A and B are shown apart, each in its own frame.
Chain A
Amino acid sequence: MAALAGVDFTLAKGEIHGLVGENGAGKSTLMNIIAGVHPEYEGTMRINGAVVKFRSIRDSLAAGIGMVHQELSIVPELSVAENVLLGVQPTNRLGLIDWKAMYREAEAQLSRLGIRVDPRAPIGRLPLGLQQLVELARVLFSGARIVILDEPTSALSPPEVDVLFSLLRRVRDSGRSIIFISHFLDDILHVSDTITIFRNGRRIATAPARDIDKAWIIERMIGAGHRELEESYTGEIMLNSRPDAQVVLTAEGLAAIGAFRDVSLQVRAGEVLGIYGFLGSGQLELARALFGKLPIAAGTLRIDGRAARLRSTAAARRAGIAFVPESRRSMLFAQEPVYKNVSVSILDRISRLWVRPSAEREIARQHVGRLQIRPPRVERRLNTLSGGNQQKVALAKWLTHLPRVLVLSEPTRGMDVGAKDDVMTIVRSLRAQGIGVVVVSTEPETVLSLADRILVMKRGTITREFANEVVSKDRLLAAA
């Protein structure tokens, strides 16, 4: 099976070229070929008219191509500065790394992206969004003539996206070219000059962004008949919480050092609680703390009325909490087949001593069907799935488990419009089964489309609650 078939793609000098398509359409594959990650392909590639053939990433770098991969390629153990200047560290006269210059340079570059982080901090400790920005800085300031960004905004909140877009325009105006992949169609329409649509490994259409609209794109991405896809994401939404339902999770005065403080909240059975905030507001850390991954410094946590001390993730799972983190890398086993990824969190329920692969496969098959994971073969090694399909596997993992409380961090990250819809359906069905769902996100649409009640976090505390009232994206952003 070929991931791409007969694709012609042309990138003009000084343009931002948006690339859209369903999960598994072949976007990343094409970009990986251009960036020299996949050296084996048919067809020819020309830069400025000259035929090129890249055997490795190094070749493409030398030809002036820089890429931010969908799965970040940062080195978690190294500092922020080392990651920004990976491979181009400034050296002094003796040829040794000039650390002072390096920190200065890294700080300067990051501040142009509007972020302030300690350039000495190990990057692995930062939230995913900040890691994404660091990687963007590396590629954007590397001087590459062609910059490829594969879903660079999937973990960013609106302020960072704005800064990034104005920077992208400046890069374009300086005569460089950018390929921009995203599932946020509004963003694509907003920032691109040209838009190309992929479907099933083929290029379906290419058009100037000003001539087309969202419906036009969706029709070509998925096919006609997907009517109210957008409506759920925009406009005003009436929130209906369920004050009568039983409380499954209570937090009082929760605090974690350097992340959040004084957080009190309740989650009811059959309710979706959205927690919204910009990057660095503490909501992603709160989600981790609820799953015992981040130590809680103060406060109490009660599950079904019983005090719970979550000393480990295993303890949290036993207490009935499940968690899907925003980063696939920290959630999935890339080298293992899909079915083992799905079954891992319920192994103890379906087997005592011996594993039962046939039962695991059967369960996995159901969920792969339900989530429309493609290709629907549970034996396939996970890392041969496209990014968005991997994200679906991460979700499938907990659907077998049916916890009391399910905490979802950025549940629709990297998913196409159709898949986002599927996630909504799934979350609704979980809610109907009486599970308390917490959706944590930096993306207003996600929270708005899923939540029955919304908490807004800002600088580590809860600043506003929306319940039983009309809310819109603007109002949410204003509160954050």
Chain B
Amino acid sequence: MSSPPADATIRNRTGPTMAWLRGQLRNIAPFATLLALAILFSVASPSFATFDNLANILQQVSVTGIIAVGLTFVILCAEIDLSVASLANATGIVLAFFTAQDASVNIANIPLPGVAAVVLAVLASLALGAVNAFGLTVIGIPSFIMTLAMLQIGAGICALLVRGQIAYNVPDFIATLGNGAIGPLPWIVVVAAVILLLGHVVLTYTRFGRYVYMVGGNREAAEYSGINVKLILAAVMLVSAVCSGIGGMLGVAHFGSAQQNEFDNYLLDSISAVVVGGTSLFGGQGGIGNTVVGLLVLGVLNNGLDHVRIDSFLKILIRGLILLLALIINVYAQRLRTREAAAG
């Protein structure tokens, strides 16, 4: 069989703009989603695009936002923390446990001055985070499983401390931060904004933040660069636990009560916020900026669906579909990048 030779005349034409756009897919897609949703709801409902409602939306995503800051660190390292909501709940309950409650609340609590209660609550969240860190780095349990166990442990602590009751009191200044407002602006939004900003600064401008990206981008290379990978992983688990703790304390104040299973929705919400925002589940790509956009997408979606007449059962499905779409984009964006890398 004699065949003519294969022959090719080839010139490369990878349009630079197209290439750039593709590289930015994970940043552009969430932003476009946010815009589209905002426009959609504004058109569909006159009560959506008002200043009051904007304040509502921000308030609704604040607790999720605080929790999501720590989770962003963890996911950037290509790990996961499934215990965030549970730790938030436990920390909130520990805070209430060390605060004087009304006589009608029948739990064996130990009233302490407000500052002491807050310190103890933060220490509690740190301690639980340290257990996560120990399991992940020293014993070597995958974070997925380790934090799943911690989710249970946190729930157990909640159950033991409140024994099915509801505690209503938290220290005054926490109550203000969680529920008060300066002028039109709720305090909790200010706190969330400050913590998000802090997270952004740490991730972008500090050495620790750089290491977080490096460990997530290529763990083996980080190790070969002499970075103490285990230390970084332990640190992000602690950061995550403390953020959850703060979110939990403010959340309890915001809701006006501390009880079991109060934060159950926050696990999925905070993970969604990070992933919808475009931070890579494979680590190393994304950041707090993405998380902020993700939070707003979720906030606008949840709030907007309340403003339009939709079967409330359908809402759950719609949220699920949006999350699925975000996951698809997330993985697809990753694949585009890996393919470019393989071409080397």
Return the chain B residue nearest A352 by Cβ.
Answer: B207
- Cβ–Cβ contact A33 & B341, under 8 A: no
Contacts of A384 in B (CB 8 A): 340
Number of interface residues of A (CB under 8 A): 77
Report the bound CA distance from A291 to B4 in whole Å: 54
Report the bound CA distance from A330 to B285 in whole Å: 18
- Cβ–Cβ contact B228 & A314, under 8 A: yes
Contacts of A291 in B (CB 8 A): 224
User: Which among B218, B224, B342 has the highest number of chain A CB atoms within 10 Å?
Assistant: B224
Return the chain A residue nearest B2 by Cβ.
Answer: A13
- Cβ–Cβ contact B221 & A333, under 8 A: yes
Residue from A312, A314, A355 within 8 A of B206 (CB atoms): A355
- Cβ–Cβ contact A335 & B285, under 8 A: yes
Residue from B9, B206, B230, B341 within 8 A of A71 (CB atoms): B341
User: Shortest Cβ distance from B216 into chain A, in angstroms?
Assistant: 10
- Cβ–Cβ contact B337 & A340, under 8 A: no
Contacts of A201 in B (CB 8 A): 12
- Cβ–Cβ contact B6 & A316, under 8 A: no
Does residue B139 face the partner (Cβ distance < 8 Å to A)? no
Does residue A89 face the partner (Cβ distance < 8 Å to B)? no
In B162-185, the 8 Å CB interface with A consists of none
- Cβ–Cβ contact B10 & A73, under 8 A: no
Given A32-B343, A34-B8, 14 more contacts at CB 8 Å?
A8-B9, A10-B5, A34-B10, A37-B342, A40-B12, A40-B13, A40-B15, A46-B8, A48-B3, A71-B342, A71-B344, A325-B224, A381-B23, A383-B340
Return the chain B residue nearest A330 by Cβ.
Answer: B220
Residue from A13, A41, A49, A330 within 8 A of B224 (CB atoms): A330
Does residue B213 face the partner (Cβ distance < 8 Å to A)? yes
3 nearest A-B residue pairs (beta carbon):
A317-B226, A45-B8, A314-B228
Return the chain A residue nearest B231 by Cβ.
Answer: A314
User: Shortest Cβ distance from B130 into chain A, in angstroms?
Assistant: 20
- Cβ–Cβ contact B341 & A9, under 8 A: no
Report the bound CA distance from A288 to B8 in whole Å: 44
Report the bound CA distance from A49 to B222 in whole Å: 49
- Cβ–Cβ contact A28 & B343, under 8 A: yes
Of A160-168, A265-273, A341-349, which stretch is located at the interface?
A341-349
Contacts of B226 in A (CB 8 A): 313-314, 316-318, 322, 345
User: Shortest Cβ distance from B34 into chain A, in angstroms?
Assistant: 24
Does residue B11 face the partner (Cβ distance < 8 Å to A)? yes
In B210-224, the 8 Å CB interface with A consists of 210-211, 213-214, 217-218, 220-224
Does residue B225 face the partner (Cβ distance < 8 Å to A)? yes
- Cβ–Cβ contact A41 & B284, under 8 A: no
- Cβ–Cβ contact A43 & B10, under 8 A: yes
- Cβ–Cβ contact B207 & A354, under 8 A: yes
Does residue A97 face the partner (Cβ distance < 8 Å to B)? no
- Cβ–Cβ contact B6 & A331, under 8 A: no
Contacts of A146 in B (CB 8 A): 6
Residue from A40, A73, A318 within 8 A of B14 (CB atoms): A40
Contacts of A6 in B (CB 8 A): 9, 11
- Cβ–Cβ contact B6 & A313, under 8 A: no
Does residue A11 face the partner (Cβ distance < 8 Å to B)? yes
User: Shortest Cβ distance from B328 into chain A, in angstroms?
Assistant: 18
- Cβ–Cβ contact B341 & A334, under 8 A: yes
Given the contacts A4-B12, A32-B343, A355-B207, A46 and B221 also touching, CB distance less than 8 Å: no
Does residue B52 face the partner (Cβ distance < 8 Å to A)? no
Contacts of B223 in A (CB 8 A): 293, 312-313
- Cβ–Cβ contact A42 & B8, under 8 A: no
In A377-405, the 8 Å CB interface with B consists of 381, 383-387, 390, 397
Return the chain A residue nearest B208 by Cβ.
Answer: A353
- Cβ–Cβ contact A340 & B344, under 8 A: no
Report the bound CA distance from A386 to B343 in whole Å: 9
In B80-97, the 8 Å CB interface with A consists of none
Does residue A461 face the partner (Cβ distance < 8 Å to B)? no
- Cβ–Cβ contact A47 & B6, under 8 A: yes
- Cβ–Cβ contact B214 & A344, under 8 A: yes
Does residue B131 face the partner (Cβ distance < 8 Å to A)? no
Residue from A9, A175, A314, A318 within 8 A of B10 (CB atoms): A9
- Cβ–Cβ contact B9 & A44, under 8 A: yes
Return the chain B residue nearest A48 by Cβ.
Answer: B3
User: Shortest Cβ distance from B41 into chain A, in angstroms?
Assistant: 35
- Cβ–Cβ contact B12 & A333, under 8 A: no
User: Which among B9, B11, B225 has the highest number of chain A CB atoms within 10 Å?
Assistant: B225
Residue from B3, B213, B221 within 8 A of A331 (CB atoms): B221
User: Which among A177, A352, A353, A355 has the highest number of chain B CB atoms within 10 Å?
Assistant: A355
Return the chain B residue nearest A351 by Cβ.
Answer: B207
Residue from B8, B211, B214, B285 within 8 A of A43 (CB atoms): B8
Does residue B205 face the partner (Cβ distance < 8 Å to A)? yes
- Cβ–Cβ contact A42 & B1, under 8 A: no
User: Which among B7, B10, B229 has the highest number of chain A CB atoms within 10 Å?
Assistant: B10
- Cβ–Cβ contact A330 & B207, under 8 A: no
**B35-51 to A contact mask, C-beta < 8 Å, 1/0:** 00000000000000000
User: Shortest Cβ distance from A234 into chain B, in angstroms?
Assistant: 30
User: Shortest Cβ distance from B7 into chain A, in angstroms?
Assistant: 5
Given the contacts A336-B217, A386-B344, A42 and B224 also touching, CB distance less than 8 Å: no
Does residue B309 face the partner (Cβ distance < 8 Å to A)? no
User: Shortest Cβ distance from A361 into chain B, in angstroms?
Assistant: 14
User: Shortest Cβ distance from A407 into chain B, in angstroms?
Assistant: 11
Report the bound CA distance from A385 to B340 in whole Å: 11
